[in-house]
């Protein structure tokens, strides 16, 4: 088990003495947001996660300052200063993390939250070579729009795409809805530039994907959660825009039927299958209780959303109709809705996106983001249900069927002060279950503060030896341990 070590930072001088020097390093207006006792709460959007679960309220007494550099040189100056004064640095993108990785872990050690939002320029979009090179603070939705404008497709799409930034996506190894078709961040990341804690620039920029010239240093930043340095620029692969897109929502009686539907989709629609999302009936009930959304499908144990992207104008419609016919006649689905317009397709996606929103409306909630073999999904949900039902807890699941990423969510209509106590009903059970099943405790949201200390349990992660090597890598990049302390890894 990974040991939780205390931060190695030396006792810190009060943050107030650093504000004037930092302001001289970042002279443009609004670049340094300092805490103010007369205006408590002004920094809270940066010191607390958006769900209000991680981080802390800014009370104006100086637990954090927020820095908004507008160029790479300013990021360098900030990191050089932080290193010289051993100040903890928390890189922050859109602050949409679900595991508390983008906010300071505690108000005990004053820290610098470095927001990348001003680094939002698109340097270049090359249609011939199909890449987009931009600054790390560019918002994902803006990159999708820029690719669309040029008749190309940006391969990443998340529920948080209106706020999250491409640097944050790289640092969390974000997954998302179209992983099925376009793959992971690693398979689309061509290059990046990062500033190391020392202030040195590590230029890993490339516009080409193929290289067998040694281990890939850029991959170290994928999933690094701001613990190695600050990513300032990213180069991403673009794909041809689909000529036709079709979407269907199937009512599915069981998980084994969902698996049959997946196999049918692969054999009927081939490589056009781009999204395969699944929701259980319990989460749809929650959505309909919390939000005035028309539910598009009749009651069933599970609902599977299939989206096809085809490069021939007519074939997506033909393929989805063939899939529907085969699924209904073979028993993989009991019913189905084919979206007849972009508006209908958006409404169905709206229901899928509403799952997280409905959960968030509860005062006490637990979100787990596991990858698990399909055969284990019902078992973990049933065992969790058995543990929480006595306290009025409700267990709902949804996820990315194609990549076996289950979002297991547990909600309680209880006083929020009981969050920690109720966690004891679920943890460490859920983590032990995932470890025993050979899964991952984080399929796409990252480790953050929630799961720091459990990295050695992830299948394929090398166990304690793997974590020891990661610690050495961390120490090579960040010998003083100033980068995002308390998250992911800490140096011994
Ligand atoms: C409604 C909703 C839906 C979501 N759906 C998905 C989903 O489908 N798939 C998925 O994977 N995630 C999902 N997420 C989680 C989240 O959006 C992703 O983890 C996203 O990649 C975080 O990006 P961000 O810019 O908000 O990063 P932040 O939350 O600001 O930061 C996340 C981590 O990255 C680090 N970081 C940020 N920027 C940089 C940088 N430039 N350099 C170095 N480190 C940096 C931070 O220090 C932190 O450790 C969802 C979140 C919400 C709220």
Q: Which atom of ligand 1 is nearest to the CA of 353?
A: 1
Arithmetic mean of pLDDT, 320-328: 96
Q: What is the pLDDT of residue 295?
A: 74
To the nearest 10 degrees (0 to 180), the angle between helices 419-426 and 377-388 is 130
Closest protein CA for atom 46 of ligand 1:
102
* Separation of alpha carbons 439 and 454, rounded Å: 12
Q: Which conformational region is residue 270 in: left (phi greater than 0), alpha (psi within -120 to 50 degrees), or beta?
A: left
pTM: 0.93
Domain 16-118+470-477 has CATH 3.30.43.10: yes
**311 has a pLDDT exceeding 90:** no
Q: What is the pLDDT of residue 7?
A: 44
CB contact at 8 A, 136 and 194: no
Q: Which atom of ligand 1 is nearest to the CA of 136?
A: 41
Measured in angstroms, how far is the CA atom of residue 158 from the centroid of ligand 1?
Answer: 10
pLDDT, tens only, 41-83: 999 999 999 888 899 999 888 889 999 999 999 999 999 999 9
Identify the DSSP state of 12: P
- How far CA 102 is from CA of 47, 97, 164, 455, 485, in Å, comes to 8, 6, 11, 18, 11
Helix, strand or coil for residue 488? coil
Arithmetic mean of pLDDT, 263-274: 93
Question: Ligand 1 site: residues with CB under 6 angstroms?
Answer: 90-98, 101-102, 116, 136, 158-160, 164-165, 167-169, 171-172, 174-176, 225-226, 230-231, 356, 444-446, 484, 487
Q: What is the pLDDT of residue 492?
A: 47
Arithmetic mean of pLDDT, 92-103: 96
Q: What is the pLDDT of residue 123?
A: 98
Arithmetic mean of pLDDT, 171-194: 94
**11 has a pLDDT exceeding 60:** no
Residue 6: band (very low, low, confident or very high) from pLDDT cuts 50, 70, 90 = very low
pLDDT, tens only, 455-477: 888 888 899 999 999 999 999 99
Arithmetic mean of pLDDT, 104-122: 94
Q: What is the pLDDT of residue 10?
A: 42
Q: What is the pLDDT of residue 335?
A: 93
**212 has a pLDDT exceeding 60:** yes
- Residue found by looking up tokens 């007519």 in the block: 314
What rounded mean pLDDT belongs to the chain? 92
Pairing of strands 273-280, 394-400: antiparallel
For the chain, helix, strand, coil in percent to 5 are 35, 20, 40
Residue 490: band (very low, low, confident or very high) from pLDDT cuts 50, 70, 90 = low
Q: Is the fold of 16-118+470-477 the same as that of 362-452?
A: no
To the nearest 10 degrees (0 to 180), the angle between helices 315-330 and 255-269 is 140
- Domain 244-357 belongs to what topology? Alpha-Beta Plaits (3.30.70)
Positions of E strands within 288-393: 302-310, 335-338, 364-371
- Domain 122-240 belongs to what topology? 3.30.465
Arithmetic mean of pLDDT, 248-261: 96
Question: Where are the domains positioned within the chain?
Answer: 16-118+470-477, 122-240, 244-357, 362-452
CB contact at 8 A, 110 and 53: no
**89 has a pLDDT exceeding 50:** yes
Q: Which atom of ligand 1 is nearest to the CA of 94?
A: 26
**273 has a pLDDT exceeding 60:** yes
Class of domain 362-452: alpha beta
């Amino acid at each position: 088990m990974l040991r939780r070590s205390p931060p190695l930072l030396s006792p810190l001088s009060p943050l107030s003495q650093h504000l004037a020097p930092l302001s001289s390093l970042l002279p443009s207006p609004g670049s340094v947001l300092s805490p103010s006792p007369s205006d408590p709460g002004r920094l809270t959007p940066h010191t607390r996660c958006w769900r209000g679960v991680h981080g802390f309220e800014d009370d104006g007494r100086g637990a954090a300052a927020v820095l908004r550099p507008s160029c790479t040189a300013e990021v360098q100056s900030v990191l050089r200063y932080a290193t010289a004064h051993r100040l903890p640095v928390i890189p922050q993108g859109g602050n949409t993390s679900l595991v508390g990785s983008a906010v300071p872990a505690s108000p005990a050690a004053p820290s610098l939250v470095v927001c990348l939002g001003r680094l939002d320029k698109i340097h270049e979009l090359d249609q011939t070579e199909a890449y987009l090179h931009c600054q790390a603070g560019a918002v994902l939705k803006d990159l999708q729009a820029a690719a669309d404008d040029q008749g190309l497709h940006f391969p990443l799409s998340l529920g948080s795409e209106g706020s999250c930034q491409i640097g944050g996506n790289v640092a969390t190894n974000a997954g998302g809805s179209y992983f099925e078709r376009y793959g992971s961040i690693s398979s689309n990341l061509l290059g990046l530039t990062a500033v190391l804690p020392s202030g040195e620039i590590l230029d890993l920029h490339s516009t080409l994907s193929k290289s067998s010239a040694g281990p890939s240093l850029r991959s170290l930043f994928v999933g690094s959660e701001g613990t190695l340095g600050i990513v300032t620029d990213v180069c991403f692969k673009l794909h041809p825009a689909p000529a036709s897109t079709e979407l269907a929502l199937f009512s599915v009686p069981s998980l084994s039927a969902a698996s049959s539907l997946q196999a049918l989709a692969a054999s009927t629609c081939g490589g056009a299958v781009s999204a395969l999302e699944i929701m259980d009936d319990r989460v749809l009930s929650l959505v309909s209780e919390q939000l005035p959304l028309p539910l598009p499908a009749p009651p069933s144990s599970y609902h599977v959303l299939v989206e096809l992207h085809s490069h021939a104008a007519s074939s997506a419609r033909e393929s989805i109709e063939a899939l529907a016919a085969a699924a209904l006649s073979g028993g993989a689905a009991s019913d189905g809705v084919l979206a007849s317009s972009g508006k209908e397709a958006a409404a169905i996606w709206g229901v899928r996106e509403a799952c997280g929103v409905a959960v968030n409306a509860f005062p006490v909630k637990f979100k787990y983001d596991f990858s698990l073999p399909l055969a284990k999904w019902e078992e973990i949900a049933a065992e969790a249900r058995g543990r929480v039902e006595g306290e009025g807890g409700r267990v709902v699941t949804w996820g990315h069927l194609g990549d076996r990423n289950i979002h297991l969510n547990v909600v309680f209509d209880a006083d929020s002060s009981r969050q920690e106590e109720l966690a004891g009903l679920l943890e460490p059970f859920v983590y032990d279950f995932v470890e025993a099943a050979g899964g991952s405790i984080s399929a796409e949201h990252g480790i953050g503060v929630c799961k720091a200390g459990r990295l050695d349990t992830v299948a394929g992660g090398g166990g304690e030896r793997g974590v020891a090597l990661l610690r050495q890598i961390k120490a090579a990049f960040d010998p003083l341990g100033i980068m995002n302390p308390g998250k992911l890894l800490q140096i011994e």
